[in-house]
Structure formats: structure tokens, C-alpha cells
Chain A
Amino acid sequence: EDQVTQSPEALRLQEGESSSLNCSYTVSGLRGLFWYRQDPGKGPEFLFTLYSAGEEKEKERLKATLTKKESFLHITAPKPEDSATYLCALTGANSKLTFGKGITLSVRP
């Protein structure tokens, strides 16, 4: 069974303090790994798809990377508006989308 574990559960940063969110996974035949951002009272908002180890995607202050066992979401010089819950999900050979439980990021001004 595919598994996704995100850590830490919650992270508090000072504005400008860069950090990384971790998504560890086990999967049979990775078809895609996805990162989402979710704001309170809203649905998950798609950020990135990664397909193979070594791939990187970047958008503004966010950069997602992928190895054979983990994905990282690096946040460079975060701002308070980056505060949200970040979800990692993947699809394996069974075509089933499996979500992690999310990391709640709080960025203090």
C-alpha cells in the first residue's frame, strides 16, 4: 500500500527564515507526486507535479524537489502570506491518489 508521511506536523517561522517541508513516501511505481497549498475554509490549490527523482519545480519563493524516497518543499525568505497547510500526495501504479496529512506553516511578521 502506498504511504505518504509529512513532517513536521506544524512549523512556525519568522518572516525571512527559510526552511523545508518534508514528504516521505513509499510507492509501487510512482506516476506523479503533487504538492498543494490549502488555506483555511478553502480547497487545496495545486502547486507542483514531480514525476521522477532529480526533478525540481520552482514558483516564486517555493521550490519542490524529488528523490526516490522523499520530496521537499523549500520555502525561501517566507512571508506571512505563505502561511497555510501544505499537502503532499502521490499516485502509484494502482492509479490511486494518496494524500499525506499536511504540514501547517505559520510565518510571523
Chain B
Amino acid sequence: DAGITQSPRHKVTETGTPVTLRCHQTENHRYMYWYRQDPGHGLRLIHYSYGVKDTDKGEVSDGYSVSRSKTEDFLLTLESATSSQTSVYFCAISAGGGTGGNQPQHFGDGTRLSIL
């Protein structure tokens, strides 16, 4: 199994509060990704990183920011959480490139986030 740890695994918070989700990898892969998974929508890319301090937006990036200060850690922040951001968030890593190269992405077990 790919060494990916997401924390926390579950979180309940209130509208308007900041939330930070953490993804930690032990594979030394260059590429890291944040997705959200919602019924009827499948997996959608929020942001991704192609190296330390190098990040870019995905298809649903509004309301989210990311940071990557070390190869192994990729943080997703909701600056002011809204109920529409209630979802399951997955981190993924890949050895090969862009928003999706020809190398598979490997996923963590997700964070279930509820915003009341």
C-alpha cells in the first residue's frame, strides 16, 4: 500500500470557521493532489502540487487553498467553511506528472468533513 496518511479522518465544524486537512506521504513522490468526492459527481480535483511550493488549481478550487512546504506534506485549507464544502476529501500521490500523467495516482483513505 502507498504510504499516505490523511488527518483528521473525520471532522465536524461550523460554517465560517477555518479548516485545515493534512496529507502526509512516505513515498517521496513529486506530485500530490486533493480531490473531493460527492454523490453524483464522482471525484473532482481541487488543487495539485508538482513540487515543494509549486501548486496549481484544479476544476473546483474556489474556496480552497493549499500549501506544500515539504515533499511529504500537502495541506488543504478551507479559509471560511461553507455547507457546500461538506464532502469526503481524498489526497493522492503520483510519481508521474501534471494533473494526470500516464502513471497511476494512489489515494489515501480520506477525510469525512461535515460543515453545519
Contacts and interface: CB of A to CB of B under 8 A. Distances in A.
Contacts of A89: 43, 100
Interface string B24-47: 000000000000000011110100
A41 B2 CA distance: 17
Interface in A1-54: 31-32, 34, 36, 41-46, 49, 51
Interface residue tally on B, bucketed by range: 20 to 34
A7 to B, nearest CB: 14
Contacts of B4: 43
Interface residues of A, number: 23
Nearest to B97: A95
Nearest to A42: B109
B42 A101 contact: yes
A69 to B, nearest CB: 19
Q: Which 10 pairs show the lowest CB-CB distances between chains A and B?
A: A97-B100, A95-B98, A43-B107, A91-B100, A32-B102, A31-B102, A99-B43, A101-B42, A46-B104, A99-B42
